[in-house]
Chains A and B, each alone.
Chain A
Amino acid sequence: MTFDMNRAHDLLARAKRLGASAADLLFAEGEAFTASVRLGQVEKIKDAREKVVGLRIFVGRRQAMSATSDLTEASLDGLVGDTLARARVTADDPDAGLPEREDFRLDLPDLGLWEPEPVDLTLDRRIDLARETEAAALSADPRLSNSDGAEFESSSSSILFANSHGFRGEYAGTAYGLSAAPIAVENGAMQRDHWYSVKRRFALLDSPDSIGKEAARRTLRRLGARRIKTQRVPVVFDPEVSAGLIGQLAGAASGYAIYKGASFLVDRLGEEIAAPGVTIVDDGTIPAGLGSKPFDGEGLPARRTVVVENGVLKSYLLDTYSARKLSLRSTGNATRGPADAPTVSPTNFFLEAGAVSPEEIIREIQEGLYVTELIGFGVNLVNGDYSRGAAGLWISGGELAFPVEEVTIAGNLKEMFKSIGRIGSDLVFRGRIAAPTIRIDGMTVAGL
């Protein structure tokens, strides 16, 4: 059973006829393919196809949502009636509703998010790409004697969105990924790390050789890791870890966290929340960006929003509802799961690069911790408390000295963002959220 704009139109019309005052509808369809190899042998091939219709109906200022992957006529007709019935009993919420009619745009940009599948990308080629990546990793050093495998992934998805204001939009996107996770063994101890590349166009993927070699380098340097004693020292976050920290700021800047009082950034608009030099941007319009989209989960056009400028909090990330709660305007950051009302998420979210090289950042530090991995969920966005398991390398005399593991780093996000003392020049978009190397002063490292 296929779904198209005509059926979307019919469903919206049916909702109206049965008493809905407004409605919007999302149809998402996707295909994904994965080829995994381990120790040179094919381990798993996965082929997936999914589609779902999500419907949101308003009765006045009351709303309810539904989603189904059963696209038969009977199922969708039932969906409309059932959603309407449920919308009638939810709360009369003065701020609920579709965005204002005049905020929609019909001339949507082509952001280059989709490409036709390369014709020579056969099953064998996909398997070979994964195999070559793993081989490049494992051949780097004899201590890389085991593997969690390597994977080639491709996916293609399309979104159709329509609402009772007359907005109609469609877009499609592709993504390709290649990754490897080698395991190094020495003196009975094992370490695992990984490296990856994800791009919207196949030709832009990093080479199997470079991904494999980087995975090997990251894994080998963890061998012989030890604990260190508890102390307060400067810490340096590598770009992967740094991006995670920036992602937490996106969560704290979400309009929902703000109006619910569940963020350490409540009432801080216009204030200094980070060190001078810290500029953080959300930009949904970057060509071929992994987080780019022509319109958001409510159909509003994507845009560029400066969230933090030179340390000052300039904007929250907002959709229509959270913006109304705060007497602000949407920033085009609505995201929508098929069965859920919109909420907020970043698009392409990044910390602008500084001028210092990562090597210089390390060279300036006498004793400190270079963090390459954080684990656990010890981040409290309500009060900013931060305590996570860390692994990395000890910095001694401006150089990376030995690997460290089984320690925690702790602080509070409010102080951590203000204590970003150095920002590296090494900003690279490896995902939707990106940041260069940064130095943070005054965190507690707990170990022995």
Chain B
Amino acid sequence: MSALSEPSDDFFASRYALFGTDLDRVLTRVLGRSVDYADLYFEYTESESASLEESMVKRASKSVSQGVGVRATAGEKTGYAYSDDITIERLADAASAARAIAEGTGSVVPARVGPARRPSRDLYPVERYAGEIPLSEKIDLLAEVDRIARAVDPRIRNVIASFSCSKKRFLVVTSEGVVVEDTQPLVRLNVACIAEEEGNRQSGSYGGGGRAGLDFVLGDRRFEFYAREAARQAVLNLSAVDAPAGTMDVVLGPGWPGILLHEAVGHGLEGDFNRKGTSAFSGRVGQKVASDLCTVVDDGTMPGRRGSINVDDEGTPSSRTVLIEKGVLRTYLQDRLNARLMKMPLTGNGRRESYGNHPMPRMTNTFMLAGDDDPAEIVRSVNKGLYAVAFGGGQVDITNGKFVFSASEAYLIENGRVTAPVKGATLIGNGPDVLTRVSRVGNDLKLDAGIGTCGKDGQSVPVGVGLPTVRIDGMTVGGTRP
């Protein structure tokens, strides 16, 4: 793991007049006699959004969220207290609340709180944060998106476009002496179109973004691609036929269909569920859980990507973790608490939505490595099946492994050829089983456009997914046509 080197600009120290000695006192108060670990998490996040519909930017909003969370752990126990008052008095209160749970036997002296450091590498350097650019430029961008989408087809009746950005600064101070500050930018542009023809009403949507400035959506005129894709999908759905129902061979296109990995295996490989033995993957490290063609990676170190982080929300540098290697389960994703209890290495996946939440093991960017097959050849290999290229959301039951994800753009495959578009259908499967059915993996790995948000235990964090074209033999497709 890389060292933390660059000193920070002391944003939190100067803004809230809290210095090393104050934080020493707070940590000492949390630790007391029996807590084995404690940390403080200061956050200051600025967000902005603007949305357009009926060709008007009707809504623009901006918000500031600040606060501090204090955590104490003792064995498997966690005490967590937070407040949006960042004062030494509230910190002391929160510290008392957090330690109230601790009845363990550990006795730890906190390391002295040194000056805050910035991570030595910056995966998302930004010259000018999107929030610093005048609102009028974002309004012009949304208006342009509206014009482009409407020009695609006269059947486009409404365009709903939204822009959002945030700049999250946080400072983590731990009883082990870690003092790290990071600034995480995030931008996103989303376009949804409604198409209508003789009372038939359909929708399409597309979007993208990343940890970057406004330049990201302007670069390569990405906004134009998003607008055209959303409109194309809405119009395409006007001619969609009922989806088939039953078990059939399924080909997933590259990119966003990687949500399959996120739901089917990713969540089940998070350390907390496996420590508790509540995941369908519990106790299966070293076992075969996928076909030889499958190598699945979680990588928080990809520059500028939505799921990337310089350090996680416990101050651990992010890393690239091979979860499944040629079909064999290698390891789990960890935060500090679960890594310690499972005696496994930290992976830099301890993430939290905000100061109001304790960290949990969470994914970053999760994808399957490319294989050797030509994507066109993979489609040709299927006699009768489904070709799904775009998806909405997914969900998993960690304990029994059942997962679903819903196609928003899919086609029938008949005699090796892609034919009629079909209406949205949910695909269902079993996590520990589905990847064993992967019989072809394409050479076309693609990552998603930067729109993923993962929810767990009420906490949302930005994530990325990726997939090459894959063929899955015998998956259940939940259409209406038996």
Task: State the A residues within 8 Å of B (CB).
Answer: 1, 38, 41-52, 63-70, 75, 82-83, 86-87, 89-91, 93, 96, 123, 146, 148, 183, 189-192, 222, 225, 227, 230-232, 260-262, 264, 266, 338-341, 375-378, 380, 382-383, 385, 387-389, 391, 405-412, 444-448
| Contact of B245 with A44 in the complex, beta carbons under 8 Å | no
* Interface hit among B77-85, B179-187, B211-219, B307-315: B77-85
B459 at the A interface (CB under 8 A): no
B58 at the A interface (CB under 8 A): yes
CA A38 to CA B277, docked complex, whole Å: 12
B201's partner among A64, A383, A448 (CB-CB below 8 A) is: A383
* Interface hit among B26-34, B63-71, B106-114, B439-447: B63-71
**Given A262-B203, A444-B479, A444-B482, also A47-B81 (CB < 8 A):** yes
| Contact of A409 with B478 in the complex, beta carbons under 8 Å | yes
**Given A70-B66, A266-B201, also A91-B402 (CB < 8 A):** no
A contact residues around B63 at 8 Å (CB): 66-68, 338-339
CB distance from B185 to the nearest CB of A (A): 18
CB distance from A310 to the nearest CB of B (A): 25
Question: Can you name 18 A-B residue pairings with CB atoms under 8 Å?
Answer: A38-B76, A45-B98, A45-B100, A45-B101, A48-B83, A67-B63, A68-B65, A69-B66, A82-B62, A89-B60, A190-B399, A192-B278, A230-B246, A262-B194, A382-B203, A387-B243, A406-B428, A410-B243
B429 at the A interface (CB under 8 A): yes
B145 at the A interface (CB under 8 A): no
A contact residues around B429 at 8 Å (CB): 406
CB distance from B429 to the nearest CB of A (A): 7
B contact residues around A82 at 8 Å (CB): 62
**Given A261-B157, A262-B158, A444-B245, also A375-B478 (CB < 8 A):** no
Write the chain B residue with the least CB distance to A230: B246
| Contact of A191 with B399 in the complex, beta carbons under 8 Å | yes
Write the chain B residue with the least CB distance to A78: B64
| Contact of A391 with B61 in the complex, beta carbons under 8 Å | no
Write the chain A residue with the least CB distance to B408: A380
A contact residues around B399 at 8 Å (CB): 148, 183, 190-192
**Given A45-B79, A388-B478, also A50-B84 (CB < 8 A):** yes
B135's partner among A42, A89, A232 (CB-CB below 8 A) is: A89
6 closest A-B pairs by CB? A408-B478, A376-B404, A389-B404, A91-B56, A377-B393, A65-B61
Write the chain A residue with the least CB distance to B97: A47
| Contact of B482 with A339 in the complex, beta carbons under 8 Å | no
B381 at the A interface (CB under 8 A): no
B477's partner among A52, A191, A446 (CB-CB below 8 A) is: A446
Write the chain B residue with the least CB distance to A145: B277
B contact residues around A446 at 8 Å (CB): 245-246, 428, 476-479, 482
| Contact of A90 with B480 in the complex, beta carbons under 8 Å | no
A contact residues around B194 at 8 Å (CB): 260-262, 382
A375's partner among B62, B83, B404 (CB-CB below 8 A) is: B404
B397 at the A interface (CB under 8 A): yes
**Given A47-B80, A82-B62, also A447-B476 (CB < 8 A):** yes
B contact residues around A42 at 8 Å (CB): 77, 101
A contact residues around B200 at 8 Å (CB): 383
B405 at the A interface (CB under 8 A): yes
CA A190 to CA B277, docked complex, whole Å: 10
Write the chain A residue with the least CB distance to B103: A42
Write the chain B residue with the least CB distance to A410: B480
A contact residues around B60 at 8 Å (CB): 64-65, 86-87, 89-90
B358 at the A interface (CB under 8 A): yes
Write the chain A residue with the least CB distance to B402: A406
B136 at the A interface (CB under 8 A): yes
A-contacting residues, B40-64, CB 8 Å: 47, 49-50, 53-54, 56-64
B contact residues around A412 at 8 Å (CB): 480
Most buried by B among A38, A50, A385: A385
| Contact of A49 with B201 in the complex, beta carbons under 8 Å | no
CA A63 to CA B135, docked complex, whole Å: 13
CA A388 to CA B392, docked complex, whole Å: 12
CA A46 to CA B47, docked complex, whole Å: 26
